[in-house]
């Protein structure tokens, strides 16, 4: 069994080998699709290996994050979006927004982020909404920031599409089924930096960092600093399980749109991020890069015919990606979810 659940330890997250799907025999491809189906229908989360992202691209992403988040606060704040509706640029830590004195912050207040995404100008002639497909804000420093971040963005977008090909096969559909939903997809890369509060070395284990949420779109390709505790996934008995990134693999979690398409055969799992700690339980900085592959804004998501048969009623009305995202953004949220537009 692929999903050995250990109540207090790390969850056994299945690994999907994309190279086996890309290059394997028909039988191997079917086996990879079956593994994905099992991961998607039990925990909504998988590791992805064989993704072919060059180590230099990972290094470029890390250098961009270190360079930008290491800038003085006044320089980072210059990259804030003009309005909160506009999901681009810098989100300062709550500690900074509340003007707390140094040393008075907690891990929950030390989370900062930077967003980049697809812009209307990337798809000339489609007349896309310029708020959803907003232009990016780029810092002048570090100089390699845009190149490093966009190299990662391109690779994450490719991996997202490769995973959706495996998903189509797993659902008994044509391998290219999702292509018509992702040719002008809303896609946002959120660079997250969970800083260590000044003077603190340990944590109470409270749910701080990023509050419990599900991702809204099709799927999320997640890179995170390996071997650091922080991300947790909720199971159906109410237990939170650690999910720790490992070197060389990515994490992919399903978003709400796949739960809708599959009439809940597949899971968009609730997850959260605790104050990050190392193996000794000491607070450490943690970086992550969450690539949200949300689909074309105008695409209509309806329960797939194969998932609406039998006694199971249809759980969801048809909805456009844009309407689904807007409804999610305006749904009542707990204070910890305040910074989760994804």
Nearest to 287 by CA among 237, 228, 243: 228
Which of Fe ion, ligand AKG, none has residue 190 at its interface (CB below 5 to 8 Å by kind)?
ligand AKG
Evaluate the CA torsion angle 262, 290, 207, 286 in order and state its sign. Answer: positive
Evaluate the CA torsion angle 171, 174, 179, 181 in order and state its sign. Answer: negative
Q: Nearest distance from residue 228's CB to ligand AKG, in Å?
A: 9
Q: How many CA within 13 A on the CB side of residue 230?
A: 30
Q: Nearest distance from residue 266's CB to ligand AKG, in Å?
A: 18
Per the DSSP assignment, residues forming a β-bridge with 232 are 242, 272
Q: Is the Cβ of residue 47 or residue 271 nearer to ligand AKG in the bound state?
A: 271
Residues 177-196 that bind ligand AKG (CB under 6 A): 190, 192
Q: Nearest distance from residue 292's CB to Fe ion, in Å?
A: 8
Among 288, 301, 307, 328, binds ligand AKG (CB under 6 A): 288
Which of ligand AKG, Fe ion, none has residue 250 at its interface (CB below 5 to 8 Å by kind)?
none
Q: Is the Cβ of residue 35 or residue 215 nearer to Fe ion in the bound state?
A: 215
User: What x-and-dash track marks residues 212-231 binding ligand AKG by CB under 6 A?
Assistant: ---x------x-x------x
What the block records as the tokens of 154 is 């391109």
Q: Is the Cβ of residue 32 or residue 231 nearer to ligand AKG in the bound state?
A: 231
Nearest to 187 by CA among 150, 213, 212, 139: 150
Which of ligand AKG, Fe ion, none has residue 273 at its interface (CB below 5 to 8 Å by kind)?
ligand AKG
Which residue's structure tokens are 């800038």?
A: 71
Q: Is the Cβ of residue 17 or residue 215 nearer to ligand AKG in the bound state?
A: 215
Among 18, 290, 299, 325, binds ligand AKG (CB under 6 A): 290
| Using rule CB under 6 A, residue 271 touches ligand AKG | yes
> Could you give phi then psi for residue 289, rounded to 5 degrees?
-135, 110
Q: Is 125 left (phi over 0), alpha (psi -120 to 50) or beta?
A: left
Among 215, 225, 256, 294, binds Fe ion (CB under 5 A): 215
Q: Is the Cβ of residue 87 or residue 288 nearer to ligand AKG in the bound state?
A: 288
Q: Is the Cβ of residue 93 or residue 342 nearer to ligand AKG in the bound state?
A: 342
Closest residue (Cβ) to ligand AKG?
288
β-pairing, 15-17 vs 45-49, is parallel
What the block records as the tokens of 143 is 């100089």
Burial of 40 (0-12, 13-18, 19+ CB in 10 A): buried
309-340 per-residue burial string, b: 16 or more CB within 10 A, e: under 16? eeeeeeebeebebbebbeebeeeeeeebeebb
Among 210, 233, 259, 284, binds ligand AKG (CB under 6 A): 210
- List contacts with ligand AKG (CB under 6 A): 190, 192, 210, 215, 222, 224, 231, 271, 273, 288, 290, 342
User: What residues make contact with Fe ion under the rule CB under 5 A?
Assistant: 215
């Amino acid at each position: 069994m692929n999903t050995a659940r250990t109540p207090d330890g790390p969850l056994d997250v299945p690994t999907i080998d994309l190279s086996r799907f890309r290059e394997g025999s028909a039988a191997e491809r079917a086996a990879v699709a079956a593994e994905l189906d099992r991961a998607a229908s039990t925990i909504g989360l998988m590791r992805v290996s064989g993704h072919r992202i060059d180590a230099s691209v990972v290094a470029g992403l890390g250098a961009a994050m270190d360079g930008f988040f290491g800038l003085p606060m006044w320089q980072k704040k210059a990259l804030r979006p003009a309005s909160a509706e506009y999901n681009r640029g810098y989100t300062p830590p709550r500690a900074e927004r509340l003007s707390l004195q140094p040393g008075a912050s907690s891990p929950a207040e030390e989370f900062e982020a930077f967003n980049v995404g697809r812009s209307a100008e990337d798809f000339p002639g489609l007349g896309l909404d310029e708020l959803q497909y907003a232009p990016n804000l780029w810092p002048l420093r570090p100089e390699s920031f845009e190149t490093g971040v966009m190299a990662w963005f391109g690779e994450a977008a490719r991996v997202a599409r490769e995973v959706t090909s495996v998903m189509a096969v797993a659902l008994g559909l044509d391998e290219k089924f999702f292509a018509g939903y992702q040719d002008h997809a809303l896609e946002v890369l959120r660079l997250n930096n969970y800083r260590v509060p000044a003077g603190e070395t340990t944590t109470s284990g409270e749910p701080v960092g990023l509050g419990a949420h599900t991702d809204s779109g099709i799927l999320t390709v997640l890179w995170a600093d390996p071997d650091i505790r922080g991300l947790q996934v909720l199971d159906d008995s109410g237990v939170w399980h650690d999910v720790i990134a490992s070197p060389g693999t990515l994490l992919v979690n399903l978003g709400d749109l796949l739960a809708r398409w599959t009439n809940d055969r597949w899971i968009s799992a609730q997850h959260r991020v605790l104050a990050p700690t190392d193996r000794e339980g000491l607070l450490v900085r943690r970086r992550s890069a969450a690539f949200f592959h949300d689909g074309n804004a105008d695409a209509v998501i309806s329960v797939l015919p194969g998932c609406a048969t039998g006694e199971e009623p249809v759980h969801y009305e048809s909805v456009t990606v844009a309407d689904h995202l807007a409804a999610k953004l305006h749904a009542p949220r707990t204070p910890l979810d305040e910074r989760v537009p994804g």
